[in-house]
Amino acid sequence: MVDTPRVQPEETIDMEEFLAKYDRESDYRRLTGFASRVIAAIAICFSLFQLYTAIFGVLDAQIQRSIHLSFGMALVFLLYPTKKSWSRTKLHPVDVMLAIIAAAVPMYIVICYQDLVLRAGTVTPADLVVGFLGVLFVLEAARRVVGIPIVVVACIFLSYAFLGPKMPGLLAHKGVGLGQLVYHLYFTTEGIFGIPLGVSSTFIFLFILFGAYLEKTGMGKLFIDLANALAGWASGGPAKVAVLSSALMGTVSGSSVANVAGTGSFTIPMMKNLGYSPEFAGAVEAAASTGGQLMPPIMGAAAFLMAEFTGVPYIQVVKVAVIPSVLYYIGIWSGVHLEARRLGLKGIPRDQLPKVGPLLLEKGHLVLPLIAIVYLLVTGRTPMRAALWAIFLAIVSCMLRRSTRIGFKDIVDGLEQGARGALGVVIACATAGIIIGVVTKTGLGLKMATALVDLAGGKLLPTLFFTMIASIILGMGVPTTANYVITSTIAAPALLKLGVPVIAAHMFVFYFGIIADVTPPVALAAYAGSGIAKGDPMKTAFNASKLAIAAFLVPYMFVVSPALLMIDATLPLVLRVMGTSIIGMIGIAAGIAGYLFTDATWPERVLLFAGGLMMVHPGSITDFIGLALLAAGFIIQRVKVRREQVKTTAV
């Protein structure tokens, strides 16, 4: 067996309570007895339905999505109480009644499907009532499992649909009647049952289910052990373990807070024991975990939506994400390395760390499903088919050795956990559909794009800046999935009007929606990290923002030079751009940390930061200037080190 390094945490953290505090999706009822079995049965049936349609063929779009939403709504109203004060261990009769109605409302479409198709746009009083209830129940489900901010955003868009004639200037429109809006939002594939819910009801659910099985097989522990074996011995080892393990976890998980809880409960106490401040330890884990949504091959759920919205294959989305995600983690790695050198922190003794060889021999077979996903996507299989095979291989591969084998109960539990894990995405996608429905019905997307470009004077950089601010603000209270849907509908078209490639425009808003998780004042991942580290939340958030500096810079770079996304670029150009960008990220990290070989003065920090920024910016002239500035900073730092050594020797 492989032993992980020994660590003495300051106190045991109740992970269920911790997640419930920082992650709304984890704040659900913990039921026992008959109620627990009923909910488990519904969740298992949900997963089996998704597997059945993935194997034998997806149903007609509205039927597939209606059944998917019906399962999701039933579970949300049963698991998440109407009031916070209500019991978390018993079902409330009101929630049971609401769950039955919420599940029945989408099933109206399934039962009356033929009649609805034949009527084609004619709204009956029954349709109006059901559609109105459907919109209300989606908003209430979003309040319970996602949070108030997305409900507020959706209500603002609904108000805009009715108040069009009273809106000023460019935002004015003729207005939408209640019947028209209800029909558009609930009985077409342009609203609640639009593309976001369509993607959720096909391959997003399967990838979440795949993640649940990887957790069952012990993949998370393998990643932590592997990270320890590779980096635990180095300077500031536990911090580098946090970066590496979170990057590895990012290949299968798209939740920042869940990543913080999963790896941070182990790495943060180790970092504190080594000498890092609580604020820096929490920030390292927060920044590294947030990057999980940027890390191929799975990334966050929004990446699947990007493939649908842009019309490019998912493997192409994965391909363009490679270099930016590598630069992101190099930036964090450089920051923690320089901080460790500045503080003189050592790594963990090698005899306390697992060995790579024995670790891979014992558990390396668990990686087979990830290899299979990449292979299947590269060879042209659909994401849904790739996820289906990956689920099968995750179960089969863990059976290859006794130490990783799971039983029938674990397989059934995986079905339940997968369904529970998908609820936030299901409801976020349905709510995002309300927003998209209003945008398509009123033409708001084109109006906002025009207004944004006009505000920026038709110039690219100001437009990028305003788009960044909008994405971060929305991302502060809205899940990444919904945030991406909103910004890609409203802000991305502004970039497209200025000639930015489609995938670059969408990747830009995707990045800034994600980085909101570590951006003050609402930085959920940073607050989660500070909760484990027992540090100051705001200081943790600012430290996390500094470590995640690459995420604030790289999107501008790949819009200016799409070679970073491997768009219309030759291999030599890609290698050159990546090489100079890596050097630049190290320079930027040194400037922010105030340390390269020794403590840097403010002029030296500016020199290193400016040089790094010029190197990250693609272009021969900027590379030459950046290299010269970094060389000057390098020489100054080396001279200072030698002088310090001479003084020390003389003493």
Smallest CA-to-CA distance from 10 within 534, 422, 461, 562 is with: 534
In sequence order, what DSSP letters do the residues of 272-294 get, joined into one string? HHHT--HHHHHHHHHHHHHGGGG
Q: What is the mean pLDDT of the chain?
A: 87
Q: Given 143, 178, 200, which residue is the final one in a domain?
A: 200
| pLDDT tens figures, 82-136 | 998 888 889 999 999 999 999 999 999 999 999 988 877 788 899 999 999 999 9
Average pLDDT over residues 270-289: 87
Residue 615 lies in a domain: yes
pLDDT at 549 over 60: yes
Average pLDDT over residues 445-464: 86
Q: In whole angstroms, what is the distance from residue 647 CA to residue 292 CA?
A: 45
Out of 205-214, 442-451, 495-504, least confident range: 442-451
Distant-in-sequence, close-in-space partners of 263: CB < 8 Å, separation ≥ 6: 220, 223, 224, 242, 245, 246, 249, 285, 288, 289
Domain encompassing residue 620: 575-651
Residue 546 lies in a domain: no
Phi-psi region of 118 (alpha: psi -120 to 50; beta: other; left: phi over 0): alpha
Number of H helices, E strands in the chain: 31, 0
Tokens at 341, concatenated? 């050198």
| Tally of domains in the chain | 2
Smallest CA-to-CA distance from 199 within 428, 366, 372 is with: 428
Residue 142 lies in a domain: yes
Distant-in-sequence, close-in-space partners of 355: CB < 8 Å, separation ≥ 6: 2, 229
| pLDDT tens figures, 41-78 | 999 999 999 999 999 988 999 999 999 999 999 999 99
The answer to whether 15 touches 265, Cβ cutoff 8 Å, is yes
Residue 635 lies in a domain: yes
| pLDDT tens figures, 86-100 | 888 899 999 999 999
Distance from chain centroid for Cα 109: 32
Residue 612 lies in a domain: yes
In sequence order, what DSSP letters do the residues of 291-354 get, joined into one string? GGGGSTTT--HHHHHHHHHHT--HHHHHHHHHHHHHHHHHHHHHHHHHHHHHHT-----GGGS-
| pLDDT tens figures, 594-636 | 999 888 999 999 999 999 989 887 678 888 999 999 999 999 9
- What local confidence, expressed as pLDDT, does residue 14 receive? 60
pLDDT at 435 over 70: yes
Q: In whole angstroms, what is the distance from residue 650 CA to residue 14 CA?
A: 54
Residue 346 lies in a domain: no
pLDDT at 149 over 90: no
Which residue has tokens 């200025």? 498
End-to-end Cα, the chain, rounded Å: 50
Residue 468 lies in a domain: no
pLDDT band at 36 (very low <50, low <70, confident <90, very high): very high
- What local confidence, expressed as pLDDT, does residue 256 receive? 75
Distance from chain centroid for Cα 344: 33
Residue 374 lies in a domain: no
Q: Given 200, 235, 261, which residue is the final one in a domain?
A: 200
Q: Given 156, 171, 200, which residue is the final one in a domain?
A: 200
